[in-house]
Amino acid sequence: MDGLLSGLKTVVDSLGATVLLPIVIFIIAVVLGARPGRAFRAGVTIGVAFIGINLVIGLMFTSLSDVAQAIVKNTGITRDVVDVGWPSAAAIAFGSSVGLWVIPIGIAVNVLLLMTRMTRTLNVDVWNFWHFAFIGSLVVAATGSLFYGLVAAALMAALALLFADWTAKAVQRFYGIPGVSVPHLASAQILPIAIAVNWVIDRIPGLNAINLDTDVIQKKLGVFGEPVILGLAIGLVLGAIGYYDAGDASTVVSKVLQTGMNLAAVMFLLPRMVKILMEGLIPVSEAARTFVQKRAGDREILVGLDSAILIGHPAAISSALILVPIAIVLSIILPGNRVILFADLAVIPFLVAMAAPVVGGNVLRMVIIGTITLAVGFYVATGLAPLFTSAAVAAGFALPEGTTQITSIVDGFLWVSYVVVEAVAGLGIVGLLVLLAVIALCFIAFHRRPAAWERLAGSDDPAPAPAKAPAATPAE
C-alpha cells in the first residue's frame, strides 16, 4: 500500500497542477457523459488557462518579491522567523508522513460527502490537497501521532468543501464564473473575518458611506481609473518606495518604471486568462448538469478549482498591492511579532480575494479586512513557527542558511491551522471529536438555511455583471 501511495504522490509531484488538472478534467468530463473530443479540448483549454494564469502570477511574484526585498532592506528590520514561501510549504506537506496519504483521503472525503448530499463540490484541484497535508503535518509535529495528523487532514478536506459550497454563489455572482466553487482553505479562511469586520464598518458613520470599488474609481477618474492604469500607478508607487536608493537616477527610474509596467500587465492579463479558463469549463459544467439532472433532478454539481481563478479581478489585485507595504509595516510595529515576510508577499491576492464578494468589491474595506487578517496572521505564524520548523525538518526540508525557524503566509498565517493544532495538541482525540462535531454542525446549519449563509458570503451584494464566456466549440 505504501508503495502505491508513494507512486501516486510521485506522479502528482512530477506532473504538477497544470498537467494533472487537464487529465483529471478530461476523465471527469468523459465519466459525466461529455464526448471524448470535447472533453479532451476542455481539459487542454483549462490546462492552457492555468499555465497562462501561472505565468502572469509568476510575473507578479517576481515584481513584488523584488520590491519587497528592497523595502525590507531599506527598513533594516530583522526577525528570527523567516518566510520561506508557499512552494516550500507545499514541498514540506507532500514530503511529510501525512502527504503520502492525503490524496486518497481527500478523494474519499469528497466522494463520501457527495454521496450523502452534504456537498455540491467535486474538488478536482487535487494538487492543492497539500494544504490538508500541511495542517496534518503540524498536528503530527505537535502530538507525535500520525493517526491524529491523518484525521486532521480529513477534517480539513471536509472544511474546504463546506467553505466552497458556502461561497459558491457569491463567487459565481461577483467573479462571473458559473458552475464553480473554490475549496481553497488559504483563501476561504478570511471569510469569517470579512463578515465580522464588514458588519462593524457598516455601523461606523462616514466610513460606511465610502465606496471605493473599481467601477466607482473608473467612473470618477476616467481612463486613469481603468484597472491597467491602476496597476501602473500602484506599481510606480511601490517601486518608488522600494527603489528610491537603488543607485543613480537612471537606475532608480528604470526599476520604478519596470515595476509599474509589470503590475499593469498583471492587471490587464489575468482577467483574460480567466476567460480562457471559462471557455474550458463550459463542456464540463454542461456535462455535469446533464448527468445530475438525469439521476437527481435539479441537484447542482460544482467544479472545485484553485483560487487562482479569483485573483484576476481588479479589486483583488488592487487591494493586495496596497497591502504589500502595509504588511511590511505591520511586521515592524506589531509587539511580540517575530516574523519577517519575504518570499510570500505576492500571495496576498489569494488571501483577500474571497473578501471581495462580501464587501461588493470595495477596495477600502478589503484593505481594512486584509490588514486585520495579516495582523492576526503574524501572531499565528509566530506561535506556529516551532511546529512549522519541526514539520519541515521531519520532511527533510533544508532550512535556509543561518535560519532557525521558518513560516509561510499561505498556511503558517491561517487561524484555521492554529485552532486545529491547539485543539488536538491540548485535547488529543477529544479535540479531534470537537472539531468533527463543529464542522458537522456547520454543514447541518448551512443545509438548513443555505440562503442566509450565502448572503453572508456576499451572494446578494451588488457585483459586476458576469463576464460572457466565449461561445463553446461545437462538439466533435
CA dihedral 248, 254, 256, 261 (to 10 degrees): 180
Print pLDDT tens along the chain (476 aa).
Answer: 556 555 655 665 566 666 777 887 788 778 777 788 888 888 888 788 878 877 877 777 777 777 777 777 776 666 778 887 777 787 778 777 887 788 889 889 998 998 898 998 888 877 788 889 999 999 998 998 999 999 999 999 999 999 999 999 999 999 888 888 999 888 899 999 999 999 999 999 988 888 877 666 666 656 655 767 877 887 888 888 878 877 788 888 888 898 888 888 877 787 777 777 767 777 776 776 676 666 655 677 888 888 877 877 888 888 888 888 888 888 888 998 888 776 677 788 888 989 999 998 898 999 999 999 999 999 999 999 888 888 888 877 777 776 788 888 888 888 999 999 999 999 999 999 999 999 999 999 999 999 999 999 988 754 444 444 433 333 33
CA atoms of 407 and 80, how far apart (whole Å): 10
pLDDT of residue 474: 35
What pLDDT shows up at residue 46? 78
pTM value?
Answer: 0.79
Rounded distance, CA 235 to CA 367, Å?
17
Q: What is the pLDDT of residue 442?
A: 95
CA distance 425 to 414: 17
The C-alpha atoms of residue 159 and residue 416 are separated, in whole angstroms, by: 10
Instruction: Please give the pLDDT value at position 288.
Output: 67
Residue 357: predicted pLDDT: 93
What is the rounded distance in angstroms from the CA atom of residue 240 to the CA atom of residue 305?
36
3-class secondary structure per residue, 162-198: HHHHHHHHHHHHHHCCCCEECCCHHHHCHHHHHHHHH
Tell me which residue has cell 484525521: 151
Contact 148, 431 (CB under 8 A): no
